[in-house]
Amino acid sequence: MTARNLFLLPGDGIGPEAMSEVRKIIVYMNEAMDAGFVTDEGLVGGCAYDAHGAAISEADMQKALAADAVLFGAVGGPKWDSVPYEVRPEAGLLRLRKDLQLFANLRPAICYPALASASSLKPELVEGLDILIIRELTGGVYFGEPKEIIDLGNGQKRGIDTQVYDTYEIERIAGVAFEMARTRQNRVCSMEKRNVMKSGVLWNQVVTETHKTKYSDVQLEHMLADAGGMQLVRQPKQFDVIVTDNLFGDMLSDVAAMLTGSLGMLPSASLGAPDGKTGKRKALYEPVHGSAPDIAGKGVANPIAMIASFAMCLRYSFNMVKEADDLEKAIANVLDKGIRTGDIMADGARQVGTVEMGEAILAEF
C-alpha cells in the first residue's frame, strides 16, 4: 500500500491542543487498521512568525504542496496583533489556500441533535439542520489587485481592495456545488449581490449557464446575499447547498455555523481541482472556529471540530468513507452520552477537558 502523507499545521492558540487529539486517532488507525498514514509537522501563523519571521516558511510551504492532505489547526492571537500586515498570522492560511489552489471550501453547518437546545435559535428551527455551504476560496476581494493603501497627501489615505471573478472560477465552484447537491437533496441556492456588483451579475449569469448546460437535473435558486443572511436566520432548514463567493461565504458560513449551536464543532474542507493524471486533489482541512487565545493552553478546548475535519479528510482525500462515517458517528455517540466540553455544557451532562473528549471519541470509534 502507498503511504498516505499528512502534513500537520497545528498553528496557534487552541490549535495544538486540538491537533493532539487527532494525532491519537491517526496513530490508532495506523496500528489497528493499518491505515499507512505518514505524518510530518510544521509551523503556521504567529508561531511561524516567531520562529521564521514569516507566517509560514518556504520549507513548510513545500511540504504542504507535497502532502496528500494538510491538517490545519488555527492561527492568531493578541501577541501578534501589531505585526506587519504581510506577515500577520492569517497570511499563512491565505498563502496556503492560494498556492495550493484550494478554490472550493466546503463548510457543513449541521446541528447535532444532542445540541439543538444550545442554539440561540428556537430548537424547532435548527433540529436536524444540515446545510452545506460551498465558498469560493481563491478569488474575489481576498486576492484581487490593486490591494493597497495609498497616501494621498493632506493627511488623507485611500484603502483599496478589488473584487475580481473570471468565468472559469465561477464555473468550477458552481460545478462543485451541483455535484455535491446530487449526493444530498439536489438543491442549490446561489448568493451574490447582482443588484450592486458587476461581479455579482457575472456570477449569476455563469451559475445559470452552468446549470442549464450541465446540471439541469439539480434545482437551482438565486438569492441576494443580504436576503440570504436573513433567510439563514429566519428559516435555515430551507437550504440544502449554498454556493457563494469568498467574502459572502466568509460571512454567511459564520452566521450559519453559529445557528447550529455547534460552532466549536464544525469542520471544513478546502479542495483543489483533481489532477489531470492522478485524479488527486490538493486539500486542507480546518475547524471553522479560531484560535481562541482566551482558553488556549488550559486543556479545556473542544477538539471536535478538528476531529470532524479529519473525518472530512478521510472522506475527501482518501475515499475512506466507512472510516469517515464511523468517526462522525463516534462524535455523535459521545455527545448523546452527555459528555461535553465547557463550550457546549448543558444541565445533567458531564464536563470534560480536551484530552478526555478526544479519548472518549477514540473509544467510540
Instruction: Name the residues annotated as catalytic.
Output: 142, 193, 226, 250, 254
Three-state DSSP at 210 gives helix
Residue 83's binding partner among a copy of itself, ligand IPM, none (Cβ under 5 to 8 angstroms by kind) is: none
Q: Which of 144, 158, 145, 313 has its CA nearest to residue 245?
A: 144
Please state the closest distance from residue 196 (CB atom) to ligand IPM, in A.
5
Q: Which of 355, 354, 324, 296 has its CA nearest to residue 74?
A: 296
- Give Cα 96 to chain centroid, integer Å: 13
Residue 62's binding partner among a copy of itself, ligand IPM, none (Cβ under 5 to 8 angstroms by kind) is: none
Unique residue bearing C-alpha cell 486517532: 25
CA distance linking residue 67 with residue 58, whole number of Å: 14
Q: Which of 69, 25, 35, 44 has its CA nearest to residue 355?
A: 25
Residue 264 has phi, psi (to 5 degrees) of -70, 0
Nearer to ligand IPM, 132 or 360 (CB): 132
The site for ligand IPM (CB under 6 A) is made up of 90, 93-94, 195-196, 226, 250
Give 69's contacts (C-beta < 8 A, 6+ positions apart).
5, 6, 7, 283, 284, 285, 313, 317, 318
Name residues contacting a copy of itself, limited to 77-116 (CB under 8 A). Answer: 85, 88, 90, 94
Nearer to ligand IPM, 291 or 317 (CB): 291
> Is 159 a residue that touches a copy of itself (CB under 8 A)?
yes
CA distance linking residue 274 with residue 245, whole number of Å: 20
Residue 197's binding partner among a copy of itself, ligand IPM, none (Cβ under 5 to 8 angstroms by kind) is: a copy of itself
* 42 CB burial (10 A radius; 0-12, 13-18, 19+): buried
Q: What is 90-115 written as a DSSP string?
A: HHHHHHHHHHTT--EEEEEEE--GGG
Please state the closest distance from residue 174 (CB atom) to a copy of itself, in A.
14
> Is 173 a residue that touches a copy of itself (CB under 8 A)?
no
Residue 216's binding partner among ligand IPM, a copy of itself, none (Cβ under 5 to 8 angstroms by kind) is: none
Name residues contacting a copy of itself, limited to 45-64 (CB under 8 A). Answer: none
Please state the closest distance from residue 150 (CB atom) to ligand IPM, in A.
23
> Is 163 a residue that touches a copy of itself (CB under 8 A)?
yes
Contact letters for a copy of itself, residues 314-333 (x by CB under 8 A): --------------------
Q: Which of 77, 23, 14, 74 has its CA nearest to residue 295?
A: 14
Q: Which of 201, 273, 349, 355 forms a contact with a copy of itself (CB under 8 A)?
A: 201
Q: Which of 99, 127, 161, 364 forms a contact with a copy of itself (CB under 8 A)?
A: 161
Using CB under 8 A, list all residues that contact a copy of itself. Answer: 76, 85, 88, 90, 94, 120-122, 125, 141-142, 144, 147-149, 152, 155-168, 193, 195-203, 225-227, 229-230, 232-235, 247-248, 250-251, 254-255, 257-259, 263
